[in-house]
Structure 1
Amino acid sequence: MEINEIRNLFPHLKTEQIYFNHAALGPWSKPLLERLELYARQRSGEKIENFKFFLRWNASAKSKLARLLNTKSGRIAWTDNVSNSLNILAQGLSWKTGDQIIINDLEFPSNVYPFLNLKKHGVEITIVKNRNGTVDLEDIEKAITTRTKLISISSVQFLTGYRANIEEIGKLCRNKGITFCVDAIQGVGVINTDVEKYNVDFLTGGTQKWLMSMEGLAYFYITEELQEKIDQKFVGWTSVEDAWNLLDYNLILKKDADRFQNGTMNTLGVALFDAMLDIFTKYGIGNIEKRILENTNYFIEQLSESGFEPVLKNTPESNRAGIVTIPVDNPEIIFEELERHEIHCSLRQGLIRFSPHFYNTKDEIDRTIDILKKSAGKNI
């Protein structure tokens, strides 16, 4: 990949800022802005009722996303956020008193509350404790009982950046007949994600972070087998087979995942996401993953050499993916100092979190660490 060609796609890089905050919100690119301009022209007069264009963008976006996930377009549905995707799963399955769900204590709340909400139905929630920012496969396996019905885990943990052994967890779940759910909002667009190979039953993510698109648009993947087990609590006019026979009122749900899309969607979000996905298609997720991991490893190495203690310092490279987190004294002051120098990252749970993408460079990492050392009073 030609890095200058890639960096030319992102207008924010023409300023002095360094952006290491993709785990929170990704920047917009030229292809996305061009689609936004086209959409705005249409809706402001050129083609106000632009539904035919939306249908084309919708099909295109699902096709490109399906290739990223190694599945078929019909297995993907749009939602507005990850929480609501997971609620479709949590509220759609049939639960009995004593059924068990396994999660862990590093999860973002989106992957916790929809399942905690099932405790009122007698479902038991087992929370596996992390080991210094990692979630050990052995600890998950030890938590499994004959009553375990579902395991849900993030492919990459939002706080520590730990990349879970999704393939091994998937094998474990398949062998034991356990539904396997993955929150991939910090993984898709960062690492290769193969739902077929990894035996994933349900996967969900948003488009606004590493995929660098718009808030208010999320997606989920669901297998045909799991879809048949879902008691769909909410339906709408676009959930049915013959949606445009408007006065028929025939509640025959669509056969694919589109049945979960109950009405008007975030059409602008889908249009923009389709344009942004062209970048991932052009450069390839394998190349993008390689660049991100190079930046991640370099970040961790340079931080360690400068006297900092990255959470994943002693974690194998196979369990890293984009997010680099460090503890510091006076984190609020350090964070404000980085912001003052136009270095954008996150402050989460008292930790400084950096999340470089594939277009970021080692020079940007070096400058960040230089400012960080001065801010922290280190002269190593």
Structure 2
Amino acid sequence: MNNTQNPFALSDDLIYLNHAAVSPWPLGTAETVKRFAEENARLGASNYLQWMDTERQLRDNLAWLINAPSADDIAIQKSTSEALSAIAHGLEWQAGQNVVFLKQEFPSNRVVWQSLERYGVTARMIDPGPGQEPEAALLAACDKNTRLISVSSVQYASGLRMDLLRIGEYANKNNVLFCVDAIQSLGALAFDVAEVGADFVVADGHKWMLGPEGVALLYTDKRIREQLTLHQFGWHMLETAGDFDALATDPASSGRRFECGSPNMLGIHALNSSLSLIREIGLERISADILRNTDLLVQLISDHPRLELISSADPERRSGIVTFKVRGGDQEKIYRELMQRQVICAARGGGIRFSPHFYTGQRKLIDALQILDRVITNKTD
């Protein structure tokens, strides 16, 4: 069992506010990886059947995380980009159809749809006007030729929490497919795939899920799964996987049909450990703690005369991300100085992005703002 009392071993001199980029592993996850490596060094794959049990546990944990009907709906991928590519190039497109997404999306959720233009598909990249809700802009761009809407649950640069229910309701009523990139919310905020009405959900595990890079979730609705043309083939994606003498080539009916080759067992063990911790603590508590940290950051930034909030001030739109800029300041230079002073953050959206997790103490947030104040007023420690 993971140690929920002190689950992290971050260096005391760090103020780690970069979970929207790459999260540190919980202590239990690091210990899991060490045990796995030591076992492999001593015993090789003697316990492979147990490793497969861990793989099944990970599918169960991922299904729990999005409230999927079944673990069979889950495919384990290498990245969000790989999962999106399986969707985009698995669907059968007709020339003249279009896919709608926001200009503000992370590149992975733009370039994959733009790659469809070779098939005569229009990639409608929407830039909402001043004061226009992004959901309204997306839906206004849809027409009878719209095949799919793709959106992030939380926008990576601004931290804007999208109204997925509104988009999903429109999509389902209008026979439009709905794809959600949930990498900036899974592990931080509650997500219910049935409530949202998403046909596809994708997310890598190295951000709010507190896992390693290289292990990602692909959810496909059972009604649509077999409509996706496969472009990668191998033993693991077969219905008869494990029966190496079988000559049948039928793909698995489950999400495993998108997993062509041998699984990343090291990454699977790590992500499963991290998700087990999240499940043990509970998403309700985790979300409450994250949003409490967000509320404090918004207050501190709004009260500072030199800082301008880029993220939404609307509590309903908040996530774990708070982005701001320094009025009259060189944002890139200030970001670099914060990093040098061990405030680990990111330069995004024309400003500086802070993204604390549930375990980030509020004292750390106050300290980060005090360091920022010294940076912008050119004070030395």
TM value normalised by structure 2: 0.94
Written as runs of structure 1 = structure 2, the 5 A alignment for 1:19-38 is: 19-38=16-35
Percent of pairs identical after alignment? 29
Q: Deviations over 1:304-361 (max 9, x none)?
A: 10121111243x2111101111122112221122122211001125421110100012
Residue 378 of structure 1: how far off its partner (Å): 8.8
The amino acid of 2:359's aligned partner reads Y
Residue 28 of structure 1: how far off its partner (Å): 1.1
User: Is the CA contact 2:294–2:322 (under 8 Å) kept in the aligned structure 1?
Assistant: yes
Query: What is aligned with 1:312?
Result: 311
State whether structure 2 residue 66 is matched by structure 1 residue 57. no
User: Is the CA contact 2:293–2:362 (under 8 Å) kept in the aligned structure 1?
Assistant: yes
Q: Give me the whole-angstrom Cα distance separating, in 1, the residues matched to 2:171 and 2:54.
A: 35
Query: What is aligned with 1:162?
Result: 160
Q: Give me the whole-angstrom Cα distance separating, in 1, the residues matched to 2:186 and 2:30.
A: 22
Query: What is aligned with 2:247?
Result: 249
Q: 1:285 aligns with which of 271, 283, 286?
A: 283
Q: Give me the whole-angstrom Cα distance separating, in 2, the residues matched to 1:294 and 1:131.
A: 30
User: Is the CA contact 2:312–2:318 (under 8 Å) kept in the aligned structure 1?
Assistant: no
Q: Deviations over 1:219-250 (max 9, x none)?
A: 11010111122111222111111122323321
Query: What is aligned with 1:276?
Result: 274
Q: Give me the whole-angstrom Cα distance separating, in 2, the residues matched to 1:289 and 1:20.
A: 16
Written as runs of structure 1 = structure 2, the 5 A alignment for 1:179-198 is: 179-198=177-196
Q: Give me the whole-angstrom Cα distance separating, in 1, the residues matched to 2:152 and 2:261.
A: 28
Query: What is aligned with 2:124?
Result: 126
Q: Deviations over 1:122-177 (max 9, x none)?
A: 00111111356985221112111000000000000110100100111111100001
Structure 1 residues 133 and 334, CA, compared in 2 at 3 Å: closer, same or farther? farther
User: Is the CA contact 2:345–2:352 (under 8 Å) kept in the aligned structure 1?
Assistant: yes
Structure 1 residues 216 and 133, CA, compared in 2 at 3 Å: closer, same or farther? farther
Q: 1:142 aligns with which of 140, 150, 154?
A: 140
User: Is the CA contact 1:300–1:313 (under 8 Å) kept in the aligned structure 2?
Assistant: no
Q: Give me the whole-angstrom Cα distance separating, in 2, the residues matched to 1:372 and 1:134.
A: 32
- The two structures, once aligned, show a CA RMSD in angstroms of 1.7
Query: What is aligned with 1:296?
Result: 294
Q: Give me the whole-angstrom Cα distance separating, in 2, the residues matched to 1:160 and 1:318.
A: 14
State whether structure 2 residue 13 is matched by structure 1 residue 16. yes
Written as runs of structure 1 = structure 2, the 5 A alignment for 1:44-83 is: 44-71=41-68, 72-83=70-81
Structure 1 residues 309 and 367, CA, compared in 2 at 3 Å: closer, same or farther? same
**SS class of match (1:209):** coil
Query: What is aligned with 2:377?
Result: 377
Count of residues in Structure 1 that have an aligned counterpart in Structure 2: 373
Which residues of structure 2 form unaligned runs of 5+? none
TM value normalised by structure 1: 0.94
Which residues of structure 1 form unaligned runs of 5+? none
